[in-house]
Amino acid sequence: MSTISSRRFFIVVALLVTAVAGALLRSFSAPQSTPYYLGTLLMVMWVPVVGNVISFFAKKFRPSVPVPPTFSSSMPFVAQVVVELKLHSEQAPALPRREQDGKIHCLFITGTEGFSVRVSLLESHIAGEAVGAEAQFLLPAAALPKFPVGSSFHLMQGRLGFGTGQVLSLSTNS
């Protein structure tokens, strides 16, 4: 048990003992007397700890959150769609940020849904002009039906949007 959790355990036990002592004092005292009120006060000191105890047990029985899937460095790049991108560098000059694999990892947002992708630019990128690119979806079975040829989408990296795009064709590699 760590130092912090052992201190918390000690505090909870001390307050529980205080509450039990207050209940005993209250039960053996005459109503409307000073010991009676003192017993009530000792019992009330336990109330703030009850929420912490309930929270402790709720955390113990909460199901673990699965780790969201991501592109692994060993996963080869397989283009699934060819897109045309219009990047807006005036909004966020540091975007799009490239990852270690040289690809741009971002989200394609269509309507209220977002899909993780890796994008490989086909030619040199000039802000404000359309750029051709190939994209690989993290979950292609879910994403490809949402991106038919001609559909448009927004690009996001982190919490910032940095451009728009349109699907030109499905890749011959997929």
Annotated domain spans of the chain = 3-61, 81-170
Residue 37's contacts (CB-CB under 8 Å, 6 or more residues apart) are none
Phi, psi (deg, nearest 5) at residue 78:
-125, 110
- Return the structure tokens found at 42: 């000792």
Q: Hey, which residues does 85 pair with through a beta bridge?
A: 131, 165
pLDDT tens, 61-105?
888 878 778 887 778 888 899 999 888 766 555 667 788 777 888
152: DSSP letter: E
Q: Using omega within 30 degrees of 0 as the cis cutoff, is the peptide bond preceding 96 cis?
A: yes
Residue 8 has pLDDT above 90, yes or no: no
Q: Is 93 helix (H, G, I), strand (E, B) or coil?
A: coil
How far, CA to CA in Å, does 34 sit from each of 5, 15, 18, 21?
36, 21, 17, 15
Please state which of the ranges 34-43, 54-63, 147-156, 160-169 shows the lowest mean pLDDT.
Answer: 54-63
Identify which has the larger pLDDT, 1 or 79.
79
User: Which CATH number fits the domain 81-170, given the four candidates 1.10.150, 2.40.128, 2.40.30, 2.60.40?
Assistant: 2.40.30
Q: What is the pLDDT of residue 100?
A: 78
